[in-house]
Amino acid sequence: MSTYLVTGAGGFLGRYVCEQLIARGDTVRGLARGEYPELSALGVEMVRGDLADRGAVVAACKGIDCVFHIGGKVGMWGHWFEYFQANVQGTLNVLGACQELGVTRLVFTSSPSVTFSGEDQRGVGSEAPYPLRWLAHYPHSKALAEQFVLTQDGTPVVGGGMLRTTSLRPHLVWGPRDHHLTARLIARARAHKLRRVGEGKNRVDMVYVENAAASHLLAADELARAAPRNAGKAYFIAQSEPVMCWDWINEILALASLPPVEKQVSARTAYAVGALLEFKHWLLRDFRNEPAMTRFVARSLATDHWFDKQAAARDFGYEPTISTAEGMRRLGEWLRKEPQGA
């Protein structure tokens, strides 16, 4: 057994990672800004703190064998400083704490958006370059953080040994307790503000949350080997096959007893509207409220996003064990039990 730290433990993915670690008998500490009594009840030692607070991160890393660095600032709108502080400086604090305290394994939760330039992505592998321009602060900050994580693989740590690192890029994580992706879709549909962007024929990869969490444990276990195959590398994480984006969105809406999306806007119009709304929010210095449309969202909803999944299977044995159909069934059950939760 090992002792693990999960940053962002109270978040959607972080909570599932904690649960899977506890289920197999590991010792788990969680770092989060809020209180999560449900995790404490499971046996997770919860520590309150902010990733931007170096002292809090160092304290949380004491006695840890492996860190799952999942926490950070998400979203497609906001002030650059906030994204930099949470995602870049926070990651530097985690890396520094690992090296100072002898932590030898770090699994970083990145995003496929770090390689997204606004164009179609079909069968993209981890060798895909970072874009030359960014449509949002989130992917930019995550790309910077990922580069720091991967370049620090193999660096020495205090007490002997070296730090082994890897980066996972789960795409569109969904499932029960999803108060982000699923919640936003349902809320916009209920408000009659959801529009199909583009022709509606784009295919996307996505991943059921329990599969995404399992990939993290597999990646950490591989890093514990004498010659880990995933050290210093990034991996896309998804279900077995991509889905038609708007068909899948309509299936989620149906689980919430909502009609399918019928209204449509062209990809070009959505992008123009997103640019205009971003400019308006910038003029008003409104960085707290996300515009109804952004350039990044417009491009994301109208283009293909599916990736090469062979590398994760080959290097650390990741294969989705819960099918999309079963995942949707579980999501439906949760929505029926907690209709206001999403």
DSSP 188-221: HHHTT---EETTS--EE--EEHHHHHHHHHHHHH
Give residue 227's domain range: 3-171+206-239+306-320
Strands 105-109 and 162-170: parallel
Q: Give the confidence band of 342 by pLDDT, cuts at 50, 70, 90.
A: low
Handedness of CA 77, 73, 106, 178 (dihedral sign): negative
Answer yes or no: is 179 within a domain.
Answer: no
Answer yes or no: is 226 within a domain.
Answer: yes
Summarize the confidence of residues 233-245 as an average pLDDT: 97
Alpha helices in the chain (DSSP H): 12-23, 37-42, 54-61, 80-83, 90-101, 137-151, 181-190, 209-223, 245-255, 267-283, 295-302, 310-316, 324-337
Query: Is 15's pLDDT higher than 90?
Result: yes
Closest alpha carbon to 95 in 4, 163, 5, 14: 163
Partners of 48 in the beta sheet? 32
Residue 208 appears among annotated catalytic residues:
no
Active-site hit among 4, 138, 235, 318? 138
Answer yes or no: is 42 within a domain.
Answer: yes
Q: Give the confidence band of 241 by pLDDT, cuts at 50, 70, 90.
A: very high
Query: Is 341's pLDDT higher than 60?
Result: no
User: Could you tell me if 299 and 268 are in contact, meaning their C-beta atoms sit under 8 angstroms apart?
Assistant: no
Answer yes or no: is 167 within a domain.
Answer: yes
Helix/strand/coil for 124: strand
Q: Quick one: pLDDT at residue 338?
A: 80
Query: Is 340's pLDDT higher than 60?
Result: no
pLDDT by residue (tens digit) across 279-325? 999 999 988 888 989 999 999 999 999 999 999 999 999 999 999 99
Answer yes or no: is 159 within a domain.
Answer: yes
Q: How far apart are CA 339 and CA 331, in angstroms?
A: 11
- Domain count across the chain: 1
pLDDT by residue (tens digit) across 112-142? 999 999 999 999 998 899 999 999 999 999 9
Q: Quick one: pLDDT at residue 280?
A: 94
pLDDT by residue (tens digit) across 29-59? 999 999 999 999 999 999 999 999 999 999 9
Answer yes or no: is 220 within a domain.
Answer: yes
Amino acid identity of residue 212, one-letter, is: A
Q: Give the confidence band of 105 by pLDDT, cuts at 50, 70, 90.
A: very high
| CATH number of 53's domain | 3.40.50.720
Query: Is 339's pLDDT higher than 90?
Result: no
Q: How far apart are CA 136 and CA 88, in angstroms?
A: 15
Query: Is 65's pLDDT higher than 70?
Result: yes
Retrieve residue 86's tokens: 């949470």
**Token pair 């958006």 is at which residue?**
113
Retrieve residue 302's tokens: 């109208």
- Model pTM? 0.95
pLDDT by residue (tens digit) across 250-262? 999 999 999 999 9
Answer yes or no: is 106 within a domain.
Answer: yes
Cα-trace Rg, the chain: 20
Answer yes or no: is 255 within a domain.
Answer: no
Q: Quick one: pLDDT at residue 1?
A: 75
Q: How far apart are CA 183 and CA 206, in angstroms?
A: 16
Summarize the confidence of residues 183-205 as an average pLDDT: 93
Output the average pLDDT for the chain.
Answer: 95
